[in-house]
Each structure stands twice: as structure tokens, then as C-alpha cells.
Amino acid sequence: MPMLPPKVLSNPQKRRAPQPPKIESSESSLVNIDPQQIKNDASSAASKAESTADDAADKAGEKGETLKQKADETASTTKEKSSEMADSAKKNFEKGKGKAKDGANAAEKEIKGEYNEVYENRDNPVVIGNAVAITAGVIGLGYGAYTKHVKGELDWQIAGIAAAAVGVFAVGDYYLSQ
């Protein structure tokens, strides 16, 4: 063992840890607890919580009933309105169906009338001449427009001249056919 200086060996107190402070006990600081009071307070708090929960449940039930009544009223109103709309749509459909049928009948009569008119005039030289002239004009205009298009020369000026020529021919044909 190494030798320590004589001062340290002579004083054994310096080698030890300091003494912890002493705590004085006092019973006056303790609170007296009454078990019966705790039971009463707990019972009171439980009954108050139960009462509050019952009130909240009652209010929720009333609110639920109110919302259910509103939902039932809305459903009833919606059902009535949808029934009215369905009836109205059905009436409009029937009305439109009748109008379409009348229009189809009128168109059929008009087509039959035009067909009968053409059929009756099938031997008329003016009708035959018009058919030949229109066919020749369509073929001529179509061929001319195609060739100009292929060469890249087709423009609005040429199209306008062709349209004017068709108009002059139609007016002349009308007056000659009379």
C-alpha cells in the first residue's frame, strides 16, 4: 500500500462521505381522510355523471327524432315531386309522340305528292331535259373542280364563278321551263 501523507491519515473524517441532512417528521402535515366522505363524494360524482349522461342521451334522442321527422318529410316531398315530374314527363312524351307522328304523316304525304308529280311528268320533255342538264352540269363542274384542285389552281374566285354560272343556269332554266 502506498504511503499517504501524514495529514490525511491522521484525519479519518475526511475520507468519508458527508452525513445526509436529517429530516424531521411532523404528523401535523398529514391530511385526515374520511373513507365515508370519499364514498359519498364518489357516489355523488357518479350520480351527477349518470344524470348528465341521461340528459345528453335524452337530448340526442330528441335531436334524432327531429332529424328523422325532417328526413321523412323531405322523402315524402321528394316522392311527391318526382311523381309529379314523372307524370309531366309522360304527358310531354305522349304529346311529342303525337306531334312526331303528325309530322311523319305530313312528310310522307308530301313525299308521295312529289313522287306522284314526278311520275306523272315522266314523259314531259322539260323534265327529261332538266334531268339531263343537271346531270351533265354536276359531272362537268365536278371534273373541272377536280382538275383545278390537282393542278393547285382551285381558289375562291374560280369557285365563285362556278357558283354564279350555276345560278344563271338555274334562273334561265326556270324561265324556259315555264
Residue 68 and residue 130 in one domain: no
**Do the domain assignments include residue 34?**
no
**Do the domain assignments include residue 21?**
no
Which positions of the chain have pLDDT values less than 70?
Answer: 1-15, 25-32
**Do the domain assignments include residue 11?**
no
Domain count, the chain: 2
The DSSP 8-state label assigned to residue 28 in this structure reads G
Residue 45 and residue 115 in one domain: yes
Residue 50 and residue 114 in one domain: yes
93 half-sphere exposure, CB direction, 13 A CA radius: 6
**Do the domain assignments include residue 162?**
yes
Spatial neighbors of 173 by CB under 8 A, at least 6 apart, are 130, 133
**Do the domain assignments include residue 128?**
yes
Residue 91 and residue 134 in one domain: no
**Do the domain assignments include residue 80?**
yes
Q: What is the pLDDT of residue 145?
A: 92
Q: What is the pLDDT of residue 139?
A: 94
Q: What is the pLDDT of residue 18?
A: 78
- CA separation for the pair 20, 1 (Å, rounded): 31
- CA separation for the pair 163, 153 (Å, rounded): 17
| pLDDT tens-place string over residues 108-158 | 888 887 777 777 777 888 888 888 888 999 999 999 999 999 999 999 999
What crossing angle do the helices spanning 125-151 and 156-177 adopt, rounded to 10°? 170
Domain boundary among 71, 98, 120: 120
Cell numbers at 11, concatenated: 484525519
- CA separation for the pair 76, 58 (Å, rounded): 27
Residue 101 and residue 133 in one domain: no
**Do the domain assignments include residue 168?**
yes
Cell numbers at 32, concatenated: 385526515
141 neighbors 164 (Cβ within 8 angstroms): no
Residue 45 and residue 112 in one domain: yes
User: Structural domain of residue 87, as residue ranges?
Assistant: 41-120
Residue 77 and residue 102 in one domain: yes
Residue 57 and residue 115 in one domain: yes
**Do the domain assignments include residue 50?**
yes
- CA 176 to chain centroid, in Å, comes to 63
Place of cell 320533255: 125
Residue 83 and residue 102 in one domain: yes
